[in-house]
Structure 1
Amino acid sequence: MLDLEPHGPLPRQIYWRRRALALGIAALVIGIVVAVVAVVVMNSTSNEQPTANESAAPAAEAVPPPLPGENPEVKSPIQPPAQQAPPPTPTPTAAVVPPPILKEGDDCPDSTLAVKGITNQPQYVVGDQPKFTMVVTNIGLVACQRDVGAAVLAAYVYSLDNQRLWSNLDCAPSNETLIKTFQPGEQVTTEVTWTGMGSAPNCPLPRQPIGPGTYNLVVQLGNLRSATVPFILAQPAQAPPPAPADGAPHLPVPGPVG
């Protein structure tokens, strides 16, 4: 039999206490060893199996960064496969209608005529009566006819801010018609005189004189308008003071001596 009773010169309680202390130390050492082994095993397991956040990180990194100017919050629409896309609807196209063939003697359309205005000089003085020439030219290739009478051919004066100041039809309206047959390149000229006074349709009174400045002449035939032609109205020059009747210069009168 195994003898577990302590033997020695000391009391028996001392030997039992020593055995209990040795057993406690041995149990503590075994517990520490077990804890260290458990920690090592857990660390090795966590290194072999990444967490959900770590496994999702590569997928997030696989998305390319947005280019400069792109908005990452705006999603591009998903394009359906080609076989699922509806067939394109044919767009109806309007047939191009060629211009009518102009025969000799037909009425001249606007596209075959050109109008322009001419001033008899580039600058006038307030009080002058400028003369304006209205020119209509057949720029087509076929002879045609057009009414160029005073009822439809007019001259206008505008300010530089496009304010209408005068027309030859305001105070001298006319019902005159003049059907003119134009040969290709042929011109018709009509001259009008402007008194320098302003006017409006139906010629309301009183009429005010136009002061100095720069103005534009425009000629119009129906809906066909010419380019603007600028001209100047200048202030009249100041006349020099009249000379004395006897021709002798006037001397200043001496003042009182004082």
Structure 2
Amino acid sequence: MTWPYRDDVLDLEPHGPLPQQIYWRRRALALGVTVVVIGIIAAVVAVVVMNSTSSEQPTANESSAPSGQAAPPPLPGENPGVKTPIQPPAQQAPPPTATPTAAVVPPPILKEGDDCPDSTLAVKGITNQPQYVVGDQPKFTMVVTNIGLVACKRDVGAAVLAAYVYSLDNQRLWSNLDCAPSNETLIKTFQPGEQVTTEVTWTGMSSAPNCPLPRQPIGAGTYNLVVQLGNLRSATVPFVLAQPAPPPANVPPQAPAPAPAPAPAG
């Protein structure tokens, strides 16, 4: 190493027109700034490294397993990435409710000549006209039909076969058994499809069981006829009681026509 080189390179003493203290302070300030910048860069690098390390740590479920045991291998056909939903215990589900079913009653097996049950008979009422006038005496026909397939017998006498008149609000107004009770029995053998008819007349007056008095006339309106045989009832048959037509007005008598004049003699 030559002395000129030593004088040019290794000379660390500041040179300039200013005092040496100013040059040393400038060097110290530059060195401090450099140290601060290096410290900030090191802190940023440390934070990045710590974040990447924490993302690689096991999850809570994995960390709860014993550190010395490895997770069991998946079964054949099982995807370890798909989680199976938790099924509730079977005993927590409410038991199924049994649906009640109506009991099916088989039709009775009849022999020819047996008593006719209600299921093999049909009753209906017939009015002889759809409309009457207050004061008329309507005639009702009671019809009993064997709708079964076997001949059978049934009492259709006046003691058990009855006609009723009801108002539209289902108020009982009259029955043929109220004021004319009967003990008559009529055992009838019905062939399949055979009918028995009985006719009764209504006077248009109200009645009740045991026929209490006084009886009131039924006014104009719409009413229902019902026929009943024991516990077997017919469908309602409506009919009308109308007000009678007013009498015609009095017409004054006309004067007699004049007699013709006698013809002249000729």
TM-score by length of 1: 0.68
Report matched runs for 1:131-142 at 5 Å: 131-142=139-150
Structure 2 segments unaligned to the other structure (5+ residues)? 1-9, 61-81, 92-100, 256-266
Q: 2:249 aligns with which of 241, 247, 253?
A: 241
Letter in 1 for 2:237: V
- Cα distance, 1:25 vs. partner? 2.3
> What letter is aligned with 1:118?
I
Alignment correspondent of 1:116: 124
Superposed CA RMSD in Å reads 3.6
Partner residue, 1:251: none
Structure 2 distance, partners of 1:240, 1:170, is 38
**Secondary structure of 1:151's partner?**
coil
Q: Deviation digits for residues 77-119 of structure 1, max 9, x if unmatched?
A: 6558xxxxxxxxxxxx999775443223221111222211111
* Residue 114 (structure 2) aligns with: 106
Number of residue pairs the alignment of both structures matches: 213
Distance 2:250 2:186 in 1: 53
Inter-partner Cα distance in structure 1 for 2:110 and 2:223: 38
Q: Where in structure 2 are the equivalents of 1:128-207 lying within 5 Å?
A: 128-207=136-215
Whether the 8 Å CA contact 1:218–1:226 is kept in 2: the answer is yes
Partners of 1:114 and 1:226 within 8 A in 2: yes
Q: Secondary structure at the match of 1:26?
A: helix
Q: Percent identity?
A: 85
Q: Distance in 2 between matches of 1:210 and 1:76?
A: 74
Runs of 4+ in structure 1 deviating by more than 6 angstroms, as ranges, are 46-52, 93-97
Corresponding residue SS for 1:33: helix
Letter in 2 for 1:109: P
Cα 1:206–1:94 shift into 2, 3 Å: closer
Instruction: Give the CA deviation at 1:235.
Output: 1.0
Partner letter of residue 27 of structure 1?
V
Q: Is the 8 A contact 2:126 2:237 kept in 1?
A: yes
Q: Shift in Å at residue 35 of structure 1? A: 3.4
CA distance in 2, matches of 1:27, 1:240: 136
Give distance in 1, aligned partners of 2:44 and 2:120.
107
Give the drift of 1:7: 6.3
C-alpha change, 1:143 and 1:47, in structure 2 (3 Å) is: closer
How many Å apart are 1:204 and its aligned residue?
Answer: 2.5
- TM score, norm. by length of structure 2: 0.66
Q: Secondary structure at the match of 2:41?
A: helix
Match of 1:254 in 2: none
CA-CA distance at 1:131 after TM superposition: 0.7
